[in-house]
């Protein structure tokens, strides 16, 4: 089966199912919902056995050819096999026949499954950021982001900020000056400036702020799953003079960034 590349934003969770409705699936080595219904927010990780919210997990299915396929949209047919979005959990699931035991059949685990999954999640994150930009829910540029954080609103009379996006290769000095203005906001720093620029329709991007709402919530979820799969990351040893990249290259000029006209209701 070919890699699924559906970049639609994630859908909301279905109605809740109490934890006690998880029942043991004899012989499968995992728990399932009654009749494989998969409704509700709780899932059991086939690697660790822990039960948690499905928002922090990744669904897999077995394709017609017996290959393990990630289902980030959570819509593919077949019984879902859930793995916590964590580097070690995925590594464990890929080894020792964990997927096969959970599926109760022989399966093929692609050796590049982790890398493939990271690429898919990266695309989803950047696509979600692009959707937020087109909806007028993003401001980019060092000065505009600082102004939005100080005013506690994104755009003219816009919603309050929900999260910050900082380029991984941006100056740590400039990034620190931005994040210090809103220490409680989550920060996504998984992408280099060139990838952010492409998603935001700019020549260059280092700093961006996303307004509170559904699009921001979806981006936070995807970024959290991607962060878990990437594992701990060392800080970059940047050689740039403080503020050199950001103050000069991350100007407030951009294509369609920060335009709040026609912003839909949140």
Interacting residues of 228 by C-beta distance below 8 A, sequence separation 6+: 56, 84, 85, 86, 87
Query: Would you list the DSSP string of 24-71?
Result: EETTTTEEE-GGG---SSEEE-TTT--EEEGGGEEEEEE-TTSBEEE-
d(CA 198, CA 176): 23
pLDDT band at 250 (very low <50, low <70, confident <90, very high): low
State mean pLDDT over 146-175.
93
Among 40-54, 174-188, 225-239, 244-258, the least confident range: 244-258
Structure tokens at 11: 């859908």
User: Positive or negative CA dihedral for 80, 84, 89, 90?
Assistant: positive
To the nearest 10 degrees (0 to 180), the angle between helices 87-94 and 214-230 is 60
- Is the pLDDT reported for residue 60 higher than 80? yes
- Is the pLDDT reported for residue 237 higher than 80? no
State mean pLDDT over 36-63.
88
User: Positive or negative CA dihedral for 63, 67, 73, 78?
Assistant: positive
pLDDT at position 40: 75
Among 32-46, 219-233, 242-256, the least confident range: 242-256
Question: First CA to last CA across the chain, in angstroms?
Answer: 37
Q: Which long-range CB contacts under 8 A does 117-123 form with residues at least 24 apart?
A: 117/58, 117/70, 117/90, 117/229, 118/226, 118/229, 118/230, 120/3, 120/4, 120/5, 120/70, 120/72, 121/72, 121/222, 121/225, 121/226, 121/229, 122/190, 122/191, 122/195, 122/226, 123/5, 123/7
pLDDT at position 233: 56
User: Does the reported pTM lie above 0.85?
Assistant: no
- Is the pLDDT reported for residue 251 higher than 70? no
The torsion angle over the Cα atoms of residues 90, 124, 164 and 185, rounded to 10 degrees, is -50
The chain-wide mean pLDDT, for the chain, equals 79
């Amino acid at each position: 089966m070919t890699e699924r590349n559906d970049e639609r934003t994630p859908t909301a969770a279905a109605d809740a199912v109490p934890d006690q409705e998880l029942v043991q699936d004899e012989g499968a080595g995992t728990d399932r919902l009654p009749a494989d219904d998969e409704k509700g927010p709780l899932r059991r990780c086939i690697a660790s056995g822990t039960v948690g919210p499905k928002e922090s997990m990744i669904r897999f299915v077995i394709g017609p050819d017996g290959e393990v396929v990630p289902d980030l949209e959570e819509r593919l047919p077949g019984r879902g096999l859930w793995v916590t979005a964590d580097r070690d959990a995925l590594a464990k699931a890929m080894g020792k026949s964990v997927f096969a035991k959970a599926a109760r059949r022989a399966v093929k685990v692609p050796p590049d499954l982790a890398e493939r999954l990271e690429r898919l999640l990266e695309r989803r994150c950047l696509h979600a950021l692009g959707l937020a930009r087109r909806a007028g829910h993003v401001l980019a540029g060092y000065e505009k982001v600082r102004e939005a954080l100080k005013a506690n609103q994104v755009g003219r009379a816009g919603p309050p900020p929900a999260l910050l996006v900082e380029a991984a290769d941006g100056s740590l000095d400039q990034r620190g000056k931005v994040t210090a203005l809103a220490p409680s906001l989550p920060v996504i720093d998984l992408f280099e400036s060139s990838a952010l620029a492409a998603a935001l329709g700019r020549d260059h991007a280092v700093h961006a702020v996303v307004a509170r709402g559904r699009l921001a919530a979806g981006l936070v979820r995807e970024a959290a799953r991607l962060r878990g799969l990437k594992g701990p990351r060392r800080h970059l040893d940047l050689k740039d003079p403080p503020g050199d990249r950001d103050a000069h290259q991350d100007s407030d000029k951009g294509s369609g960034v920060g335009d709040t006209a026609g912003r839909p209701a949140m």
